[in-house]
Amino acid sequence: MRRMKVIIPVALLSISMGVLAFSKLHKEDPPGRYEVIMGLVGQILTQGHYQPKEINDAYSKEVFDKYLKSLDPEKKFFLKSDVQGLQTVATHIDDELQGAPLDCFNAVNTLIKQRVTEAAAIYPELLAQPFDFSKEEKVTLDPDKIDFPADQEARKDAWRKVLKYRVLEKYVELQESRDKQKDQKDKASTEKPKTDAELEADARAKVKSVYDRYFDRLKNKQDDNERFSLFINAITTTMDPHTDFFPPAEKRAFEEQMAGKFFGIGAQLKEEDGKIKITSIVTGSASWKDGRLKANDAILKVAQGDKEPVDVTGYAVEDAVKLIRGSKGSVVKLTVKSVDGTQKVIDIVRDEVVLDDTFAKSAIINGQHKLGYIYLPEFYADFNDRNGARCAEDVAKEITKLKAENVEGIILDLRFNGGGSLQDVVQMAGLFIPEGPVVQVKSRSGDPMILRDRDKSVQYGGPLAIMVNEYSASASEIMAAAMQDYKRAVIIGSNTFGKGTVQRMLNLDDFYSNKEIGALGAIKLTQQKFYRANGGSTQLKGVTSDILLPDPYYEVAERKDDDALAWDEIPKAPYTTWIDPVPVEALKRSSEKRLAGSEAFKMMNDNISTLKKMESQEAYSLNLQTYKAEQKTNSNALKRYDAVNDKVKELNIVSLRVDLDRLASDSSKLARNKDWLKFRQKDIYLDEAVNVMNDLIALSYPKLQGKPANK
C-alpha cells in the first residue's frame, strides 16, 4: 500500500537508549546490526508509540503471519508443512525485541532462500513443454482464497496452473495480433502467418522471460538485508499501518520526496526487458552538463566512486535509483551500453535535482466563469533547508498569480494527495480563513494542542472548492476538514482515506552509534493523533465530501486495515464559521440532479459495479474457449469504461502565460505540461467540480458574476 503521510520535523524521544539499552541483548558478545535494530525498535514502539499494543505472543503471531505474506504473497514458495514447522518460533518475536536470539527471522530467512531456489528450478521445466488449453480446469489467483501447498507436488501443480494462465493470456494476445495483421495485409502477400503451435511457443518464451527477470530480481534485490527490512516492517506496521521502518537508502528517498529535490545525475529511468534505460535527461542537471548520457542508453552497472560496481540487470527502477542517487559532490560510475552497441564507463559528480512535478502548479479553466485551478500532489516541505520548497508558500504564490488573472473562483485539487507536512497544512488553511484553529493534535498523554492560523488576513476570500478522493489522506484530510468545518469551501469527491495520525521520523543512529555496524536507518513512528476543529477524528472515517461522486478507487482506505487505530472524538475547539457559509444543501441538490441526468456518470456507476464483480471472481478458466468468452465480456466492460470520457465535454483549461514563459527554454517540460493539461481536459470529476463552482458563484456571489473574486 502506498505510504500515506503526515509528519513534522524530527524530535527525539525522551526515552533511555544507547549502548546501555542493550544490556540484556548479549551478555558477552556485542550485538550485531540486526540485534541493535530489533532492540531499538522494541523500545521505541513500547515507549514512544501513541497507542502501543501489548507486545506478547499474540502480537508475535500476527507479525509472523504478516512477514510470511510479504515474502510469499502468492503462496507459491512455502509448503504447508513449512508454516506448521515454523510455528515453534512464531511466538518468539516479542522475546527477540527484548534481546533474545533472532530465531524466528533466521529460521524463516534460511527456509525462504531454499524454497526460492527450488522454485527457480520449477518454472523453466514447466515452461519447456506446450500447454494443453483444451482441458477444463481453473486456477485461483487470490492468495486469500487458497492455502499453502500441501507438499512439493502440490506446489509444482500450483506453479503449473499460474504459469499456464500467464501463457494463456499471452497466447490469446498473440493470436489476436496475428489475426488482425492477416486482415490488414494485402492478399497477395507471401509472408506466412505463424501457426497456433508457434504462437503458443512464443507465449511460453515471453512468460519465461518475465519470470527470469522476476527471479533475477529476487536474487539481486531480496538479500538478507531486504528480508530483514520486511521483517522489521511486519513488526512496526502491526502496531499501526503508518509506523514504518526505513533502511538507510529508503530513508533518504522518503526525505527527498518530502523535500521535492535530491542529489543525483538528473536522468529519468525506465525498466524495459530487464534493463534500466534512460528515458530523458533533466535540463540543467549533472547529466545534461556532462553530455555523455543519452536517451535509450542502458545502464548495466552502478558503482559508488572506486568501489566494486553492482550489476543492475533485473533491478526495478526504484531500486536502481537508490544506487544512482547519493550525496552532493560524490561520484557515481555507470557502465552504459549505448544504442549503437558501444559500452563505456561514465563517471558523473552528483548534484541537486529539483522535482518540479512534485510542486504545486496552477491553470485557468475558461467557461461560464473564469476559474483558477491549483493542483497539489502532496504537502511537501524541505525540513533540512530553511530556504527549501514549502507547499504552503507555493500555493500562496499560485493564488497571487491567479488573482492577477482575475479568476472568479478557485478549485484546489487534492486527489491522490497522500499528505505530508502538518505545519504547512495549517499555514495553507490560513490563506483562506481569518485567525482560528485548523486542527487539534493529541499526544499519548496530555491535553489536545490546538494548531491555529494566527494571521488575521485572508489571501483569497472568493468561491472555493476542494477536490478529494479515497487516496486523499492525512494533511489532505486536515485541509478538507478545516474548510468544511468553517463552511469555507465545498468539498467534492468521495470519502477520503481516513488517516488521522501524525508520525515523526526518528533516526536510529541518534540512539546507537557504532561505525563498525554501519547506518541503521530510521523509524517513522506514530506519536500523535489529530482531530478536526469540530472535535471529530478523521481517523478511519475520513472526510465525507459535501458533493459525493462515484469513485472507482476502492478497497484502499484505512478502514480496510485490521491494525488501524480506532475513531474517536474530543471536545470542539472554539471557532467562527465563514462570513458567507457555503450553501451545501443547495449545491448538493443541483449536483444530484445533474448526475441523475448524466449519461457519463451513469456509465461510470455501471462500470464501477462491473469492475467490482470482475475483481471478486475467485477462479479463472484455463480452457482456451472459456477464457476467450470471459475476456470478451471483460473487454466489453472495459471499453464501456473507456467510453465515459467520450461523454464528457472538453474543458478549456490553459496554462498561465507566466508559467509558459518560464518553461519556454525546456522542451521536455513543455511537453509534460501539455500532457498535464490534456489529461484534465476530459476529466469527468473536474468537469462536475466546475459545474458546482458555477452554482456556488451564482448562489453565494451574485455580485461577482463576471467580476474577479479577489476579496
Q: What is the mean pLDDT of residues 151-172?
A: 95
Three state DSSP letters for 294-323: CCCCEEEEEEECCCCCEECCCCCHHHHHHH
The sign one gets for the Cα dihedral 696, 700, 702, 703 is: negative
Interatomic CA distance for residues 681 and 658, integer angstroms = 20
Q: What local confidence, expressed as pLDDT, does residue 479 receive? A: 97
Q: What local confidence, expressed as pLDDT, does residue 344 receive? A: 86
Q: Of 137, 126, 131, which Cα lies nearest the Cα of 197? A: 131
Q: Of 685, 680, 696, which Cα lies nearest the Cα of 490? A: 696
Lowest mean pLDDT among 110-114, 214-218, 659-663: 214-218
Q: What is the mean pLDDT of residues 438-466?
A: 94
Is the confidence at residue 535, as pLDDT, over 50? yes
**More confident position, 26 or 565:** 565
Lowest mean pLDDT among 155-169, 364-378, 420-434, 627-641: 627-641
Q: What is the mean pLDDT of residues 339-361?
A: 81
Is the confidence at residue 677, as pLDDT, over 60? yes
Three state DSSP letters for 540-604: CCCCCCCEECCCCCCCCCHHHCCCCCCCCECCCCCCCCCCCCCCHHHHHHHHHHHHHCCHHHHHH
Interatomic CA distance for residues 524 and 510, integer angstroms = 14
Is the confidence at residue 10, as pLDDT, over 70? no
Q: Are β-strands 310-311 and 298-304 bridged in parallel, bridged antiparallel, or unpaired?
A: antiparallel
Q: What local confidence, expressed as pLDDT, does residue 283 receive? A: 67
Q: How many beta carbons lie within 10 A of that of residue 182, not counting itself?
A: 12
Q: What local confidence, expressed as pLDDT, does residue 216 receive? A: 84
**More confident position, 575 or 351:** 575
Q: What local confidence, expressed as pLDDT, does residue 102 receive? A: 95
Q: What local confidence, expressed as pLDDT, does residue 110 receive? A: 96
State whether residue 171 is helix, strand or coil: helix
The radius of gyration computed from the CA coordinates of the chain, to the nearest angstrom, equals 28
Confidence at 7, pLDDT banded by 50, 70, 90: very low
Lowest mean pLDDT among 191-195, 373-377, 402-406, 567-571: 191-195
Q: What local confidence, expressed as pLDDT, does residue 13 receive? A: 42
Confidence at 273, pLDDT banded by 50, 70, 90: low
How many residues are there in the chain?
711
Q: Of 478, 490, 464, which Cα lies nearest the Cα of 547? A: 490
- Dihedral through CA 255, CA 256, CA 257, CA 261, nearest 10? 150
Confidence at 495, pLDDT banded by 50, 70, 90: very high
Interatomic CA distance for residues 264 and 659, integer angstroms = 26
What percent of the chain is modeled with pLDDT above 70?
89
Confidence at 600, pLDDT banded by 50, 70, 90: confident
**More confident position, 358 or 59:** 59
In terms of pTM, does the model score above 0.85?
A: no
Q: What local confidence, expressed as pLDDT, does residue 30 receive? A: 56
Interatomic CA distance for residues 358 and 377, integer angstroms = 6
Three state DSSP letters for 77-109: CCCHHHHHHCHHHHCCHHHHCCCCCCHHHHHHH
Is the confidence at residue 680, as pLDDT, over 90? yes
Q: What is the mean pLDDT of residues 516-522?
A: 84
Q: What local confidence, expressed as pLDDT, does residue 187 receive? A: 55
**Average pLDDT for the chain:** 87
Q: What is the mean pLDDT of residues 626-647?
A: 75
Pick the most confident of 20-34, 220-234, 640-654, 676-690: 676-690
Q: What is the mean pLDDT of residues 487-491?
A: 97
Q: What local confidence, expressed as pLDDT, does residue 365 receive? A: 98
Q: What local confidence, expressed as pLDDT, does residue 618 receive? A: 79
Residues 6+ apart with CB under 8 A from 372: 362, 363, 364, 365, 398, 399, 402, 405, 407, 409, 410, 411
Q: What is the mean pLDDT of residues 24-52?
A: 81
Confidence at 669, pLDDT banded by 50, 70, 90: confident
Q: Would you call 73 exposed, middle or buried from its count of C-beta atoms within 10 A (0-12, 13-18, 19+)? A: exposed
For 368-427, what is each residue's pLDDT tens digit? 999 999 999 999 887 777 778 899 999 999 999 999 999 999 999 999 999 988 899 999
Is the confidence at residue 20, as pLDDT, over 80? no
Q: What local confidence, expressed as pLDDT, does residue 260 receive? A: 62
Lookup result for grid cell 489467483: 141
Lowest mean pLDDT among 181-190, 452-461, 493-502: 181-190
Residues 6+ apart with CB under 8 A from 462: 407, 408, 409, 410, 701, 704, 708, 709, 710, 711
| CATH code of the domain occupying 261-354 | 2.30.42.10
Q: What local confidence, expressed as pLDDT, does residue 26 receive? A: 41
Cα–Cα distance list, 138 to 135, 394, 624, 637 (Å): 9, 54, 11, 22
Q: What local confidence, expressed as pLDDT, does residue 14 receive? A: 41
Is the confidence at residue 195, as pLDDT, over 50? yes
**More confident position, 305 or 10:** 305
Q: What local confidence, expressed as pLDDT, does residue 222 receive? A: 80
Confidence at 9, pLDDT banded by 50, 70, 90: very low
Is the confidence at residue 548, as pLDDT, over 80? yes
Could you please report the per-residue DSSP string of 214-243? HHHHHHHT-SHHHHHHHHHHHHHHHH-TT-
Element (H or E) spanning 58, and its range? helix 57-71
At the second CATH level, the architecture of 361-510+526-594+649-702 is Alpha-Beta Complex (3.90)
